Amino acid sequence: MLSRKTLVGALIALVAVGGLGYSGYRVWRHFLAAAPTPPPRTAVVIGAPSDAPTAVPATPTPVPTLPPSVFIKVPYTSQFPHQEFGASQPNQNYCEAAALEMVSQFFKGDTRDIIPPDEADAAMASIAGVERKDFPGVLDLPLTSVASVGTQLFGLKPTVSPVDLGQIETNLAAGRPVIVPVMTHLPNGAMIAPNYGSVSVYHVILITGYDATKGVLYTNDAGFIEGQHHPYTWSLLSSAIDAQTLKYPQGRVMLVFDRA
């Protein structure tokens, strides 16, 4: 039989090992969420614009031959940079603010992979404050309202137009990220990404690239921590856009910003 001293020592060792295991798991999850996701490999990579703006038409000029794949390096933030997932947290309604923060940083020339959590959270709170002031009582903003806030706060020139895969790819090839409105679940109840909860909600997603060969669109989806460079097929994203038309009157639209 083990002595009391030996038993006590064994128990202390078990507790220490268990504590380290739990701590290690939590630390691993923390750094997993914070670490940048490797960018997709594409034929064309577009960085943030320089300080000297170039004249680009607001309406995309048709490109005879688009690159087979394009990726725009837009800095990422989740709308939950500190994992504020509680139902009472204001971050639950920060998806439009997150998209605006990412786009505005890109057009400012930000070359970072990820916007630091404290900076992102403060910026989104400020953007959301303007949204609530300009559109009181409205939490799910149509793209025309998102466009208005983007112009007011960042001086960007918006274009809201019918959504079309060809126009999405044309804008991306010209260095302009694209924002689309979706529901997080399809009408049959299927989630558009496994990271979403059980309830379908209105959401906006920032598209940052495409790969025509693979048939995917790359996104900075702020709706979950691991949303950087998240790929969606156009079929799935188009169906999610359709789903929001059943609840909101804006129809199938997309929003593109450019420097004024």
**Are 217 and 152 in a shared domain?**
yes
- pLDDT averaged over the chain? 86
**Are 56 and 127 in a shared domain?**
yes
Domain that includes residue 102, residue range: 38-259
What confidence tens digit (pLDDT) does each residue in 182-203 have?
Answer: 999 999 999 999 989 889 999 9
**Are 16 and 76 in a shared domain?**
no
| CATH code (residue 168) | 3.90.70.10
**Are 52 and 99 in a shared domain?**
yes
pLDDT at 11 (0 to 100): 38
Q: Out of 5-9, 110-114, 169-173, which region has the weakest mean confidence (pLDDT)? A: 5-9
Please report, to the nearest 10 degrees, the dihedral formed by the alpha carbons of residues 118, 202, 75, 211 taken in order. Answer: 160
**Are 7 and 58 in a shared domain?**
no
Q: Out of 30-34, 42-46, 250-254, which region has the weakest mean confidence (pLDDT)? A: 30-34
Residue 103 near residue 177, CB atoms below 8 Å: yes
Q: Is the pLDDT of residue 242 over 90?
A: yes
User: Structurally, how many domains does the chain consist of?
Assistant: 2
**Are 120 and 4 in a shared domain?**
no
44-46 and 202-211 strand pairing: unpaired
Residue 191 near residue 198, CB atoms below 8 Å: no
Helices (H), ranges, the chain? 4-34, 95-107, 117-134, 143-154, 165-173, 234-245
Helices (H), ranges, 135-227? 143-154, 165-173
**Are 8 and 89 in a shared domain?**
no
Question: pTM value?
Answer: 0.82
Alpha carbons 13 and 49: distance in angstroms, whole number: 56
- pLDDT > 90 in the chain, percent: 71
**Are 48 and 74 in a shared domain?**
yes
**Are 137 and 79 in a shared domain?**
yes
**Cα 259 to chain center, whole Å?**
20
Q: Is the pLDDT of residue 16 over 50?
A: no
**Are 123 and 147 in a shared domain?**
yes
Q: Out of 23-32, 131-140, 197-206, which region has the weakest mean confidence (pLDDT)? A: 23-32
Which residues are 185's β-sheet partners? 191
Alpha carbons 89 and 91: distance in angstroms, whole number: 5
Q: Is the pLDDT of residue 30 over 90?
A: no
**Are 21 and 43 in a shared domain?**
no
